[in-house]
Structure 1
């Protein structure tokens, strides 16, 4: 079970752009049918567009913008996002949310003596832990945090055991 995030944001933006365009076209069409002054003067717009050539800069710029937007939307649809539910060992339908896993590992890292704060990032098959300490000499802290986080991962039992990397940030020497 590797649930991926939905593509709601690109779909919503595309839908809103299409809705706004359709709304403007509908309002202008109704204004033209009622013989009222339109928001967009059709004859002026048509005259401008008919005067353009394929070699004009405006046509190339508009084509480039549309091509870039299209590529962005296709890449948002094709490139998989970070999983929101990570599979666990055991039954095939068991999983843990990545947010819950991060908070559990952060809490485990914070229990180590000398750690004043911790942040955890899940990057592919790696767990990156960054701990802050007030110690000026943090010898042994990396190994202690790695052991605690690895132990917690063993308890959770993800289907693929990630590698754990730990970085310690401490203040400079107080001398």
Structure 2
């Protein structure tokens, strides 16, 4: 029950470009029919197009731009978007899901309940919850990383395991202090790993 994004932005952009072209043609035809000076003269456009040859650089640039735009639109249509709703594994095999935005907000709130955590940023990518938490403490960052990892893993278990792994990175008050990382599987048996990077 994974619901993907609907690619709204590319569709809106294509619709706006087509609508602008249609409006320009309609306005030009209406002005020509009314006998007033045209905003976009058909005769001028036709004369410029007939005077342009295929090997001129404006034609090549326009063709390349259209080719790139078409390839991007095709890739956008074929490749799956980010999931908007993540499936939950329920015991009674009932189809259920949790919105990705709600899951991020819930996990962010859980991470900030851990002592020593000032703020948290949550991202969901490829079955992994990545949490970056900030602390004002100079010591105990490894313990904070392990505690946040455990709290988030427990929440994932309670929800029905919409994600498979939890990774936590703790940022201290000074870059010289380095950062602490913890990683835990969200499915039993849970395994925790903590490492320090300097």
The TM-score normalised by the length of structure 2 is: 0.81
Deviation by residue 1:50-108 (Cα, 9 ceiling, x = unmatched) = 11111111110111111112122212212211101000012443100111111111121
Give the SS at the match of 2:119.
Answer: strand
Match of 2:134 in 1: 132
Q: Are 2:166 and 1:164 aligned?
A: yes
Cα distance in 2 for residues equivalent to 1:132 and 1:164 = 17
Verify the 8 A CA contact 1:102 1:122 in the aligned structure 2: yes
Structure 1 residues 38-47 or 118-127, which shifts more? Answer: 38-47
1:141 CA drift (Å): 1.4
Give the SS at the match of 1:140.
Answer: helix
Structure number with greater CO (CA < 8 Å, separation at least 6) is: 1
Could you say which structure has the higher strand fraction?
2
The TM-score normalised by the length of structure 1 is: 0.91
Q: 2:103 aligns with which of 101, 104, 127?
A: 101
Cα distance in 2 for residues equivalent to 1:81 and 1:92 = 24
Give the SS at the match of 1:54.
Answer: coil
Q: How many residues align?
A: 173
Unpaired runs of 5+ residues, structure 1, are none
1:119 CA drift (Å): 1.3
CA RMSD of aligned residues (A): 1.7
Match of 1:150 in 2: 153
Match of 1:37 in 2: 37
Cα distance in 2 for residues equivalent to 1:105 and 1:34 = 63
Q: What is the correspondence of 1:1-175 to structure 2 with a 5 Å cutoff?
A: 1-90=1-90, 91-137=93-139, 138-159=141-162, 161-172=163-174
Cα distance in 1 for residues equivalent to 2:5 and 2:39 = 40
Give the SS at the match of 2:19.
Answer: helix
Unpaired runs of 5+ residues, structure 2, are 178-198
Structure 1 residues 50-59 or 24-33, which shifts more? Answer: 24-33
Verify the 8 A CA contact 1:28 1:38 in the aligned structure 2: yes
Structure 1 ranges of 4+ moved more than 3 A = none
Give the SS at the match of 1:113.
Answer: coil
Q: 1:125 to 1:32 in 2, by over 3 A?
A: same
Verify the 8 A CA contact 1:102 1:121 in the aligned structure 2: yes
